[in-house]
């Protein structure tokens, strides 16, 4: 049951697709108060109650004990003390442990929203929103039912092409055709399957969107074609800022047609990102959105069928106005013997250049006739940039799935594309964070997601990369990505290539199951990744599990995320089959009883657990498997255990067309013991 409450004059964000009648009575589940520009909703939490959700955020699966701020931030250092990451996902579920009941809250407010989940007062959940917003309260008989109800409200999750479930290699700095070919060649020579190579900003001419540096990529179309023949898709990045440069058509057209965001004087707002000074396309405006979306065609005509949208919080290195102010202030400093106050003051001035809140208050959108200050709709920018692309793809290639994901997002964007979790670090803690973010993202409909495997910033290590891959073979987006200047981290750079190859091949072996589970989750508004408690609500201990996840209908994973660990403790909420794999071919399994176990997991092993009376299909791969296209649908075996007949609903399709429902792709396959 969903209740809708409207406050003030909210912006229509596009998060919700279902009409719900407005409720007139107060939200029974929370207390309400109003003060100037802020509305506050709050309620008591008992000690054992658990809060799930909030999508891409720091800290654990249970969000209690900290405050989270929805205000999309370009902040690569995701330490625990941070309150905002790249996305804004205002949906949470409070589970009442004693009563065994739960309710969900979705705050549809594209400005700043604060969720104080027991930070100020341990036993109080407090939500502060702007004065114009819509709040949805959702009741249901279980955690799963509440999420499903919410997902029905916000619409079906994005469905990528099947090749996007293959292994993908990326790096900021691949700067020439030769480098791209070399990455492909290394994977192919060593028999490591690979479905995509990413093109970061270095493929462009002077970081200008929708251009290609023809000196370094003299035959782009030919390169795309050659790669595709090898089963590898090239996926270029598109940034939010459009370089200010006379004669650059995207800039010229945007200025001429008034498609850019404006400053307080009605001039095109000037910020700076990679290319230097840029304007931001006003993607909240329908015409500007259509115009920007059509630009992707330039690359699609060269054979491109996947994109990643970046810097769309939007990230601002500096604004023209703020830079002027800062330079003046710095120039006025005459002190060459600064004490701590003077020094920190100077440091603060410089640090304030980047992503300054004042800048976000100083530009405006024309949202189809309504002038809106950016600050009020800040969290929509990444969503609408991605929507621009997805709507254009519908026109350009109506029958084909195009890979699309974004860095910044808001609920609603999940219908148009996926996300990656942004600039993490090569830290063990970020491997754990990535595990914990997955179910929270799935709750918000963001199913196509994953983190930068191995860590984006800092130098990775062989053991971290192995452990990260052992988790990431379960994430729909499985992409190794790193920052320029860090240690090279393609898997062939390490000594232990055979282990990397084996682990990546296990992903391809699991593909029939993972793809089937993704599609079932997307088509039925369900979660692909779930906290253990969602499947075992009667088990009190399941609510305490912070580092294990249910993946699809049949399995549970318990990844290793600590350095030098030879295994880990795993909690089994029921008797399960433990499957241990060194490679697809070299594996064993045994049944473990319900309870706590210490499980040895060597550095080069994948371990997962199959639920009782459940099975999963595992593809039998030829030695030569290069990409998802080589995984044969009729070569598989069943893995699982049952004391009665076990069945599996197996979804499969051609992986590229959009005829998901019309064809008979849901097959109930019985497996007899």
Residue 201 makes contact with ligand GLC by CB under 6 A: yes
Q: How far is the CB of 424 from ligand GLC (least distance, A)?
A: 10
Residue 490 makes contact with ligand GLC by CB under 6 A: no
Residue 237 makes contact with ligand GLC by CB under 6 A: yes
> What span, in angstroms and rounded, lies between the C-alpha atoms of 671 and 632?
20
Q: Number of residues interacting with ligand GLC: please give it, by CB under 6 A.
A: 8
> What span, in angstroms and rounded, lies between the C-alpha atoms of 519 and 512?
11
Burial of residue 598 (number of CB atoms within 10 Å: 0-12, 13-18, 19+): exposed
Residue 56 makes contact with ligand GLC by CB under 6 A: no
Beta bridge partners of 2: 138
Question: Exposure string (b/e) for 70-80, b if CB count within 10 Å is 16 or more?
Answer: bbbbbbeebee
Q: How far is the CB of 89 from ligand GLC (least distance, A)?
A: 18
Closer CB to ligand GLC, residue 62 or residue 480? 480
> What would the two tokens of residue 541 be?
């201990």
Q: How far is the CB of 451 from ligand GLC (least distance, A)?
A: 11
431: phi then psi, degrees, rounded to nearest 5: -70, -45
Closer CB to ligand GLC, residue 403 or residue 607? 403
**DSSP assigned state of 407:** S
Closer CB to ligand GLC, residue 192 or residue 483? 483
> What span, in angstroms and rounded, lies between the C-alpha atoms of 377 and 374?
5
Report how far apart, in Å, the C-alpha atoms of 434 and of each of 85, 133, 228 are. Answer: 13, 30, 30
Closer CB to ligand GLC, residue 86 or residue 508? 86
Residue 75 makes contact with ligand GLC by CB under 6 A: no
Closer CB to ligand GLC, residue 55 or residue 512? 55
Closer CB to ligand GLC, residue 443 or residue 483? 483
Judged by CB under 6 A, the chain residues 650 through 669 that form the site for ligand GLC are none
> What would the two tokens of residue 305 be?
């069928």
Q: How far is the CB of 219 from ligand GLC (least distance, A)?
A: 23
Closer CB to ligand GLC, residue 106 or residue 383? 383
Q: Give the nearest residue (CB) to ligand GLC.
A: 172
Closer CB to ligand GLC, residue 149 or residue 200? 200
Q: How far is the CB of 481 from ligand GLC (least distance, A)?
A: 6
Closer CB to ligand GLC, residue 102 or residue 164? 164
Closer CB to ligand GLC, residue 200 or residue 653? 200
Find the largest Cα–Cα distance for the chain: 83
Q: How far is the CB of 12 from ligand GLC (least distance, A)?
A: 29
Q: Which of 507, 528, 470 minimizes the C-alpha distance to 618?
A: 507
> What would the two tokens of residue 12 be?
């229509």
> What would the two tokens of residue 42 be?
């709050």
Closer CB to ligand GLC, residue 285 or residue 355? 355
653: phi then psi, degrees, rounded to nearest 5: -155, -170
Burial of residue 292 (number of CB atoms within 10 Å: 0-12, 13-18, 19+): buried
Give the contact letters, 169-188, x = binds to ligand GLC (CB under 6 A), - = no.
Answer: ---x----------------
Q: How far is the CB of 310 from ligand GLC (least distance, A)?
A: 5
The DSSP line for 34-58 is EETTEEEEEEE--TT-EEEE-SS-S
Residue 425 makes contact with ligand GLC by CB under 6 A: no
> What would the two tokens of residue 201 be?
């900003």
Burial of residue 331 (number of CB atoms within 10 Å: 0-12, 13-18, 19+): exposed
**Pick from 108, 116, 149, 200: which binds ligand GLC (CB under 6 A)?**
200
Residue 423 makes contact with ligand GLC by CB under 6 A: yes
Q: Which of 469, 640, 670, 495 minimizes the C-alpha distance to 555?
A: 640
Closer CB to ligand GLC, residue 65 or residue 485? 485
Q: How far is the CB of 180 from ligand GLC (least distance, A)?
A: 15
Report how far apart, in Å, the C-alpha atoms of 168 and of each of 44, 183, 303, 439, 535 are. Answer: 45, 11, 18, 22, 31
In the chain, the N- to C-terminal Cα span, in Å, equals 40
Is the peptide bond prior to 314 cis by the omega test (within 30 degrees of 0)?
Answer: yes
Closer CB to ligand GLC, residue 201 or residue 522? 201
Residue 232 makes contact with ligand GLC by CB under 6 A: no
> What span, in angstroms and rounded, lies between the C-alpha atoms of 127 and 302?
48
> What span, in angstroms and rounded, lies between the C-alpha atoms of 81 and 446?
24
Closer CB to ligand GLC, residue 486 or residue 554? 486
Residue 135 neighbours by CB distance under 10 Å: 24
Q: How far is the CB of 422 from ligand GLC (least distance, A)?
A: 5
Residue 422 makes contact with ligand GLC by CB under 6 A: yes
Q: How far is the CB of 475 from ligand GLC (least distance, A)?
A: 16
Give the contact letters, 614-633, x = binds to ligand GLC (CB under 6 A), - = no.
Answer: --------------------
260: phi then psi, degrees, rounded to nearest 5: -100, 160
**Pick from 4, 365, 407, 467: which binds ligand GLC (CB under 6 A)?**
407
Report how far apart, in Å, the C-alpha atoms of 581 and of each of 21, 294, 333, 499, 558 are. Answer: 52, 46, 63, 11, 14
Q: How far is the CB of 172 from ligand GLC (least distance, A)?
A: 3
Q: How far is the CB of 407 from ligand GLC (least distance, A)?
A: 5
Judged by CB under 6 A, the chain residues 267 through 326 that form the site for ligand GLC are 310
Q: How far is the CB of 200 from ligand GLC (least distance, A)?
A: 5
Beta bridge partners of 127: 41, 115
Q: How far is the CB of 374 from ligand GLC (least distance, A)?
A: 20
Binding site for ligand GLC (CB under 6 A): 172, 200-201, 237, 310, 407, 422-423
């Amino acid at each position: 049951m969903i209740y809708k409450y409207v406050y003030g004059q909210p912006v229509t964000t596009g998060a919700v697709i279902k009409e719900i009648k407005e409720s007139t009575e107060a939200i029974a589940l929370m207390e309400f108060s109003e003060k100037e520009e802020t509305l506050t909703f709050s309620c008591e939490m008992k000690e054992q109650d658990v809060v799930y959700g909030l999508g891409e955020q720091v800290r654990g699966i249970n969000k209690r004990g900290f405050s989270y701020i929805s205000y999309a931030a370009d902040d690569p250092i995701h330490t625990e003390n941070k309150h905002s990451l790249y996305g804004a996902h205002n949906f949470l579920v409070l589970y009442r442990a004693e009563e065994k009941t739960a309710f969900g809250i979705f705050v549809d407010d594209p400005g700043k929203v604060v969720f104080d989940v027991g930070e100020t007062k341990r036993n109080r959940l407090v939500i502060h929103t702007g004065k114009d917003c819509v709040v949805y309260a959702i009741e249901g008989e279980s955690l799963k039912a509440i999420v499903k109800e919410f997902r029905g409200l916000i619409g079906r999750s994005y469905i990528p092409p099947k090749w996007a479930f293959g292994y993908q290699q990326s790096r900021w700095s691949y700067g020439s055709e030769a480098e791209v070919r070399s990455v492909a060649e290394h994977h192919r020579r060593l028999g490591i399957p690979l479905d995509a190579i990413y093109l970061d900003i270095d493929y462009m001419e002077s970081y200008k969107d929708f251009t290609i540096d023809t000196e370094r990529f003299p035959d782009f179309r030919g390169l795309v074609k050659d790669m595709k023949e090898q089963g590898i898709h090239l996926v270029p990045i598109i940034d939010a800022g459009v370089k200010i440069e006379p004669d650059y058509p995207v800039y010229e057209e945007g200025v001429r047609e008034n498609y850019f965001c404006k400053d307080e004087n009605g001039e095109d707002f000037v910020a700076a990102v990679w290319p230097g000074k840029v304007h931001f396309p006003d993607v909240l405006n329908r015409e500007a959105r259509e115009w920007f979306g059509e630009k992707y065609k330039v690359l699609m005509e060269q054979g491109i069928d996947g994109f990643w949208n970046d810097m769309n919080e939007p990230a601002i290195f500096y604004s023209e106005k703020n830079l002027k102010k800062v330079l003046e202030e710095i120039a006025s400093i005459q002190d060459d013997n600064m004490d701590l106050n003077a020094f920190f003051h100077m440091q603060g001035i410089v640090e304030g250049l980047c992503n300054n809140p004042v800048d976000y208050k100083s530009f405006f959108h024309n949202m189809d006739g309504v002038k809106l200050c950016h600050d009020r709709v800040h969290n929509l920018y990444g969503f609408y940039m991605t929507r621009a692309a997805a709507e254009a793809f519908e026109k350009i290639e109506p029958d084909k799935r195009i890979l699309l994901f974004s860095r910044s997002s808001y609920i609603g964007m999940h219908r148009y594309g996926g996300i990656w979790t942004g600039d993490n670090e090569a830290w063990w803690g970020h491997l754990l964070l990535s595990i914990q973010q997955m179910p929270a993202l799935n709750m918000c409909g963001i199913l196509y997601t994953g983190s930068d495997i191995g860590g984006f910033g800092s130098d990775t290590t062989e053991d971290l990369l192995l452990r990260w891959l052992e988790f990431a073979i379960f994430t729909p987006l499985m992409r190794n990505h790193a920052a320029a200047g860090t240690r090279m981290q393609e898997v062939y750079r390490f000594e232990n290539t055979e282990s990397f190859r084996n682990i990546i091949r296990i992903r391809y072996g699991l593909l029939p199951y993972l793809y089937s589970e993704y599609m079932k989750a997307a088509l039925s508004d369900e979660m692909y990744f779930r906290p253990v408690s969602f499947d075992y609500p009667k088990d009190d201990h399941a609510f305490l599990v912070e580092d294990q996840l249910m993946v699809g209908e049949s399995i549970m994973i318990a990844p290793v995320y600590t350095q030098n660990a030879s295994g880990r403790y795993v909690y089994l909420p029921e008797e399960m089959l433990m499957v241990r794999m060194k490679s697809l071919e070299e594996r064993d399994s045994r049944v473990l009883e319900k309870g706590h176990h210490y499980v040895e997991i060597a550095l080069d092993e994948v371990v997962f657990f199959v639920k009782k009376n459940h099975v999963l299909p595992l593809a039998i791969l030829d030695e030569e498997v290069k990409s998802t296209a080589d995984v044969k649908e009729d070569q598989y075996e069943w893995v699982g255990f049952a004391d009665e007949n076990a069945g599996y609903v197996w979804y499969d399709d051609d992986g590229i067309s959009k005829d998901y429902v019309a064809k008979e792709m849901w097959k109930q396959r019985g497996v007899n013991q």
